Structure 1
Amino acid sequence: MGKLGKYKFMKKYKMIRKFLPDTRTATLSNIKIMLGLYKSVYLKPDEGTGGHGIYRIHRDKNNLILRTGSKSRIFSSLNDLYTSIKNVLTRGKYIVQEGIELLKHNHRPFDIRVMVQKNGKGILDVTGIIGRQAKRNKVVTNYHSGGTPLPVDTLLKSHLNDESRKRYIQLLERLGKDASTVLGKSYRSKRAFGVDIAIDNKMNPWVLEINTKPDMSIFNALKNKTMYKRILRYSKIKG
């Protein structure tokens, strides 16, 4: 399943439904509907990885601003905007997703990756959690698109006090595990899930995507190697 298939599958489960941002096929009509519902939307390849080929559209007074990478273009109508990227959207399957205004640290947005892996008994454990801060002026946080890996505690310091931070990180870990448990019902042979979680300005968490072949190297970028060593240890467990 691509992003849309995973979204539709997970939406069936009450425990995770409210954490999923609205996601649809990126047709002109769907983009128009969603821009009427939300301040911004993201266009993403249904099966893309690494933050490549992602566009952000948001309204600014009477115009629409299209961003990709660190570049912006202004359009006076959705038809003009759509025409400019139609070839990209029709060449590969794209989704349109409700835009979540990411929480920021030092004026740069960030999101969270929760690593969930099966232990020797086949039970899912949270083995790592890390923050990914976007490169200046970029719309994506992905490590391989210039995002900076940072401890979650560091990123949340300007938003929560010590005790609240600890509880909130536990909440993120639990959400990552719950999301993996749900998707794992369809991916029974998978032993690892990388859950990407956005946090909005009201501190609400959103499950943006779940990777069934998560990159473990990002955890090696932290000074403290405890999580990375645990993740490697779990990756060697045979199913």
Structure 2
Amino acid sequence: MKGSAGGIGVMIGGAPKLDSSSGRLRLPEDGFLSALAQRAEELRLSLYVFRLEGFRPKSSSLTGYVREGGEWLERVVPLPSVIYDRCGPLAAAGRRGHAELLHRLNTLRPHVLLNGWMPGKSSQYEALRCSSPELAELAPPTLLLNDVDTVKEAMSRWGSVFLKPDGGMKGRGVIAAAPQDSGWLVRGRSNDGRPLRSEQPDLNAAAELITRLVGGKRYIIQPQLPLCDRQGRPFDIRALVQKDGRGRWRLTGTAMRRGRPGGIASNLYGGGEALPARDGLALLLGHEAAEQCAGKIDRLALSAADAAESAFGRFAELGLDFGVTPDGRLWLLEMNSRPGREAFAAFPGGIARTAVERPLLYARLLSEGQGLTSAAPEASFR
């Protein structure tokens, strides 16, 4: 890339850490970002990673991280032509700083955002309900948690309930409550992933505990859907859909994510495992019903991606999490605009490579005319 050109800037939220054994920097999502940088080099695209804190307003310069010789090196990098935002959920103050930085960078050098922000789950469900009857049926019954009375209402209406942060990820902060002979059992995972379990004497006591655990954060409440396999392992189906090099939605792959027996979350960060979706569904539904269910998920994932873009603006990729009941009923639990790739890492057929490549091809499409294609990537950094 010529010195005046930008590049693909991958924006991350977490700070790099020094690996004590190798002495090298490790970034959040290091494996994915390393694969992304390698594939970008093969495609002759200039790519680097940066953080909000790397921008220097006085000099209008940006410090980032470039992959060279198998390691990340800190460099002054050009202002990006395309920004691939991989920041996770942000608190209100973080969102303001995030928006201010993007505005400042765009003022200095106009850029294209590869992927927008997906709002919370309650807004996602509303978009599904407003799109088509078929997608509307995927939205679970949901209440926004306003106060302890909302919790009591949900518990009285549905019995067993499931609560999760409206804008959360990775299964953190989830809470489940179910009646039992001696009262109510409240289980969950704290925001740092630690398990919690408490027996309460009655509905009112359980609702009070849940309200304290939520602590004023924005939560949703749903009936606890029957989303476990025969061994009592919670599971969901992750569908990864991405734009290709022509800007069209494509299904990259589907995976079943299974949690631990007796757990309440299927997320891999809680110690779960992944297997191809059709294999997992066959164990649950039988081969014929599994194929029908998987085909429906494939189709509805693409339809839901279109609906999300119509409601919320452009996205480059989405991770859609489907719940499947024992009779094959589908629920769309959430859509994530910063999907991970862990569930597909060991799958055959090149899915992991495709999952890395497609955002780059779409970035190249969006950047046409901005000089993104690089003849000498190393010349852009110093």
Scaled by the length of structure 2, what TM-score is found? 0.58
Q: Distance in 2 between matches of 1:29 and 1:91?
A: 14
4+ aligned runs moved over 6 Å, structure 1: none
5+ residue gaps, structure 2: 1-118, 190-194, 367-382
Matches within 5 A, 1:222-237: 222-224=346-348, 226-237=350-361
CA contact (8 A) 1:219 1:225 kept: no
Alignment of 1:19 onto 2:138: yes
Matches within 5 A, 1:24-103: 24-26=143-145, 27-61=147-181, 63-69=183-189, 70-103=195-228
**CA offset at residue 99 of structure 1?**
1.7
Q: Distance in 1 between matches of 2:149 and 2:183?
A: 18
Aligned match of 2:126? 8
5+ residue gaps, structure 1: none
Higher mean C-alpha deviation, range 181-190 or range 79-88: 79-88
Matches within 5 A, 1:156-167: 156-167=281-292
Distance 1:82 1:39, change over 3 A: closer
Higher mean C-alpha deviation, range 227-236 or range 162-171: 162-171
**CA offset at residue 123 of structure 1?**
1.8
Give a deviation string over 1:99-148, Cα, whole Å, max 9, x none: 21114054422110001111223221111100100123321011112111
Distance 1:227 1:79, change over 3 A: same
Pick aligned residue for 2:235 from 110, 127, 130: 110
Identity %: 24
Distance 1:5 1:164, change over 3 A: closer
Q: What count of residue pairs does the alignment treat as equivalent?
A: 238
Q: State the secondary structure of the residue aligned to 1:102.
A: coil
Q: State the secondary structure of the residue aligned to 2:143.
A: strand
Give a deviation string over 1:22-76, Cα, whole Å, max 9, x none: 1121232332232233242111111111101100111224622111145432222
Aligned match of 1:205? 330
CA contact (8 A) 2:227 2:326 kept: yes
Distance 1:39 1:233, change over 3 A: same
CA contact (8 A) 1:105 1:155 kept: no
Scaled by the length of structure 1, what TM-score is found? 0.90
Structure having the higher Rg:
2
Distance 1:175 1:40, change over 3 A: farther
Q: State the secondary structure of the residue aligned to 2:284.
A: coil
Q: Distance in 2 between matches of 1:39 and 1:225?
A: 43
Distance 1:164 1:9, change over 3 A: closer
Q: Please report the RMSD computed on the Cα atoms of aligned residues, expressed in angstroms.
A: 2.0
Aligned match of 2:272? 147
CA contact (8 A) 2:238 2:320 kept: yes
Distance 1:52 1:124, change over 3 A: same
